[in-house]
C-alpha cells in the first residue's frame, strides 16, 4: 500500500538526493544555461530545478538527397543557437486541435532530427556525472515527438537524472524499402530502418555530448513506450547499438514479433510508389526523393531484417540468447486493449478452444474475451517471456500497471495503453487540464513509479523509495510489481494460467527459427 508514510519517506529521499547531487545550490545559478555540443553552443532555459534545451540537432536534415539514407553528421552553426523553444516533430498526421496517436499536436517537418535535454541545473559546471535516460517516444513509429506534455522531465532533473527525448523519422520516411534504394546503397549500408538508425545516432550523440550537461556517458538507460518500447527491444537485439547504453526499460513494448524480410518491404514500397503515381518497382531514387513529404505520411510496412543493420527480430534474439545482456525493466498495463480497435482484432474466432477455455470464467462474452486476450497475447505474456529469457544473465524486473484514477473507475476496465507515462515521469501537472483533478492517490502512485525508475537509472536496480522492495524476476517464483489502485505491491504467479496458455499458443513463433 502506498500511503502518507510512503509519501513522507519519498519526500525525504528526494531531499537527500537533491542535496547529494548539488542541485539544491545550483538552482539559484544564473540563467540561461549553455552547453557546447556537436555543431556549436546551445542556449537553453532554466525551468525550476532543470536546465531545459529544446530542438538540438543531432544529425543533418534528412531532406533532398539525404532522404532514405542513414543520418549524416550535424551541420555546424555560427555563434550560439537558441534552444529554448520546441522545434517541429517529424512528418506525421496531426488532427486539428487535438493530439494524435503519439500524443502530439504541433508543427511537423521533414527537417526534424533534433532532441531535447532536461538536466539538473548547474551539473556541468560542478563537474558531476549524472545518470542519463534516453526516451524513445511511442506512436506506432507513425506518430510522436520529443516534446509531448507527459514527457516533461523536470522532475527527473529534480531527482538528479538527465533525460534526453528525441524526434526520429516516422512512417514511410522512417521505415521504407524499394528496389531502387537497395540497388544504390553500398553493400554495408543499412536499409529500410532509417528511424532506427536515427535512434542509434541519438545514442551516439549522447555518448559524445552528454558530459557537457553534467551527464555520465557510461551510465545510460534506454527507455520507451509502445513503439518506443518495441524499438528498445530491437536495439537490445542490434549489435550496432551495443556499448551505447547500459540499462533498458520497456513499457508496453510487446516482445513477440514475427520476422519481416527485405523483399516483402520492397514490394510494399513499390506498391506505395505506384499509388503515388510513379512506375512502381521501376521508379528511380530521384523520383522517389522528389515526392512531396506530405504524401509520405503513411506506413509502408515498418521495420525489416535487412541483413545489415537488423539480422534477427527481438523474439529471435532473446530466444537464441543473442540480446544485449543488461539490467532490464519490462511490463504492461491492465487495459492495453484500449488499442484493440486500431489493430482490427475485435474478432476472437481464431483463438484455439483450449485458450478460450482458460478465459471462460473472466470473459464470458466475445467482447470481454477480445479485451483480455489482447492484453495477455500482445503485451502481458510477451513481457513475462522476455523477463524470463533475460533473467539468466543481468537481472530483469517485471511490472504490471493497473492504477486507474478514481474518477475513471466506473468507465474504464483498466489502465489504458500509455496511461502510465505521466506517472513514470511524475508529470501529472504538465498534462493540460489535469492538475485540478489530481488526487492524493494519483500523486502517491506517481511518486512510487517515478522513484523506481529513478533508482534504476542511478543504480541498475529499481531501488524504490520508502523501502519498497521489488525482487528481480525469477521464473521459479514468478513475481512482479503491480502498481495498482491499492498501491504498489508484489504479486506471485500473476495470471499464470492465462500467460502460460498464451505462451503455449505462440510456441511456433517462440521457437525463433
The question of whether 417 is a catalytic residue gets the answer yes
In angstroms, the Cα distances linking 168 to 31, 70, 253, 474, 492 are 29, 12, 17, 35, 38
Buried b (16+ CB within 10 A) or exposed e, 379-389: bbbbbbbbbbb
Q: Is 290 helix (H, G, I), strand (E, B) or coil?
A: coil
In angstroms, the Cα distances linking 129 to 164, 200, 208, 214, 359 are 15, 22, 14, 5, 50
Percentage, residues of the chain above pLDDT 70: 91
The question of whether 226 is a catalytic residue gets the answer yes
pLDDT recorded at residue 27: 35
Q: 225, 251, 266, 336: which one is catalytic?
A: 336
Q: How far apart are CA 456 and CA 18, in angstroms?
A: 17
Is CATH 3.40.50.1820 the classification given to domain 4-510?
yes
Q: 21, 150, 226, 252: which one is catalytic?
A: 226
pLDDT-derived band at 14, boundaries 50, 70, 90: very low
Spatial contact of 89 and 113, defined as CB atoms under 8 Å apart:
no
pLDDT recorded at residue 465: 76
* HSE (side-chain half, CA atoms, 13 Å) at 241: 30
Q: Which residues contact 122 (CB under 8 A, 6 or more apart)?
A: 22, 23, 25, 26, 27, 29, 33, 51, 214
Domain ranges of the chain: 4-510
Q: Which residues contact 28 (CB under 8 A, 6 or more apart)?
A: none
pLDDT recorded at residue 376: 96
pLDDT averaged over the chain? 91
Q: 128, 178, 417, 450: which one is catalytic?
A: 417
How is residue 74 written as a grid cell? 550535424
Query: What digits encode the pLDDT tens for the residues 345-354?
Result: 555 657 888 8
How is residue 91 written as a grid cell? 512528418
Query: What digits encode the pLDDT tens for the residues 46-74?
Result: 999 999 999 999 999 999 999 999 999 99
Q: How far apart are CA 120 and CA 24, in angstroms?
A: 9
Q: How far apart are CA 422 and CA 401, in angstroms?
A: 12
pLDDT recorded at residue 15: 36
Q: Which of 21-25, 85-89, 232-236, 340-344 bottoms out in mean pLDDT, i.e. has the lowest? A: 21-25
Query: What digits encode the pLDDT tens for the residues 210-241?
Result: 999 999 999 999 999 999 999 999 999 999 99
Mean pLDDT of 163-173: 98
Query: What digits encode the pLDDT tens for the residues 281-332?
Result: 999 999 999 999 999 998 888 999 999 999 999 999 999 999 999 999 999 9
Amino acid at each position: 500500500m502506498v500511503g502518507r508514510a510512503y509519501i513522507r519517506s519519498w519526500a525525504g529521499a528526494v531531499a537527500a538526493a537533491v542535496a547529494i547531487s548539488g542541485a539544491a545550490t545550483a538552482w539559484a545559478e544564473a540563467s540561461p544555461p549553455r552547453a557546447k555540443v556537436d555543431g556549436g553552443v546551445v542556449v537553453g532555459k532554466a525551468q525550476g530545478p532543470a536546465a531545459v534545451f529544446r530542438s538540438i540537432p543531432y544529425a543533418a536534415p534528412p531532406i533532398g538527397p539525404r532522404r532514405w539514407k542513414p543520418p549524416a553528421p550535424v551541420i555546424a552553426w555560427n555563434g550560439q543557437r537558441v534552444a529554448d523553444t520546441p522545434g517541429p516533430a517529424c512528418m506525421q498526421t496531426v488532427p486539428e486541435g487535438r493530439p494524435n496517436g503519439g500524443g502530439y499536436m504541433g508543427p511537423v517537418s521533414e527537417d526534424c532530427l533534433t532532441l531535447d535535454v532536461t538536466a539538473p541545473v548547474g551539473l556541468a559546471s560542478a563537474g558531476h556525472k549524472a545518470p542519463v535516460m534516453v526516451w524513445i517516444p511511442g506512436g506506432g513509429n507513425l506518430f510522436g515527438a520529443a516534446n509531448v506534455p507527459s514527457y516533461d522531465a523536470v522532475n527527473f532533473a529534480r531527482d538528479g537524472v538527465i533525460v534526453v527525448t528525441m524526434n526520429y523519422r516516422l512512417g514511410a520516411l522512417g521505415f521504407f524499402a524499394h528496389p531502387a534504394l537497395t540497388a544504390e546503397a553500398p553493400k554495408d549500408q543499412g536499409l529500410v530502418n532509417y528511424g532506427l538508425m536515427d535512434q542509434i545516432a541519438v545514442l551516439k550523440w549522447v555518448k559524445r555530448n552528454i558530459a557537457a550537461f553534467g551527464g555520465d556517458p557510461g551510465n545510460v538507460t534506454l527507455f520507451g513506450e509502445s513503439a518506443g518500447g518495441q524499438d528498445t527491444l530491437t536495439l537490445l537485439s542490434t549489435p550496432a547499438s551495443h556499448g551505447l547504453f547500459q540499462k533498458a526499460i520497456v513499457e508496453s513494448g510487446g516482445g513477440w514479433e514475427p520476422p519481416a524480410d527485405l523483399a516483402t518491404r520492397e514490394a510494399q514500397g513499390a506498391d506505395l510508389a505506384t499509388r503515388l503515381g510513379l512506375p512502381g518497382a521501376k521508379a528511380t531514387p530521384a523520383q522517389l526523393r522528389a515526392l512531396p513529404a506530405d504524401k509520405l505520411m503513411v506506413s509502408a510496412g515498418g521495420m525489416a531484417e535487412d541483413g545489415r543493420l537488423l539480422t534477427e527480430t527481438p523474439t529471435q534474439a532473446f530466444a537464441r540468447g543473442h540480446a544485449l545482456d543488461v539490467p532490464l525493466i519490462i511490463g504492461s498495463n491492465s487495459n492495453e486493449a484500449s488499442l484493440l480497435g486500431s489493430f482490427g482484432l475485435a474478432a476472437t474466432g481464431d483463438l484455439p478452444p483450449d485458450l478460450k477455455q482458460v478465459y471462460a470464467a473472466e470473459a464470458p462474452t466475445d467482447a470481454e474475451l477480445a479485451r483480455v486476450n489482447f492484453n495477455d497475447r500482445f503485451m502481458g505474456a510477451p513481457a513475462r517471456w522476455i523477463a524470463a529469457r533475460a533473467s539468466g544473465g543481468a537481472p530483469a524486473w517485471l511490472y504490471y500497471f493497473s492504477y486507474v484514477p478514481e474518477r475513471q473507475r466506473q468507465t474504464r476496465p483498466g489502465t489504458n495503453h500509455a496511461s502510465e507515462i505521466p506517472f513514470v515521469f511524475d508529470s501529472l501537472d504538465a498534462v493540460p487540464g489535469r492538475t485540478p483533478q489530481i488526487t492524493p492517490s494519483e500523486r502517491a502512485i506517481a511518486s512510487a513509479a517515478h522513484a523506481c525508475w529513478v533508482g534504476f537509472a542511478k543504480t541498475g536496480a529499481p531501488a524504490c523509495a520508502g523501502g519498497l522492495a521489488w525482487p528481480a524476476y525469477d521464473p521459479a517464483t514468478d513475481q512482479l510489481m503491480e502498481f495498482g489502485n491499492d498501491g504498489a505491491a508484489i504479486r506471485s504467479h500473476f495470471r499464470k494460467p492465462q500467460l502460460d496458455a498464451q505462451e503455449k499458443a505462440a510456441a511456433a513463433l517462440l521457437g525463433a527459427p
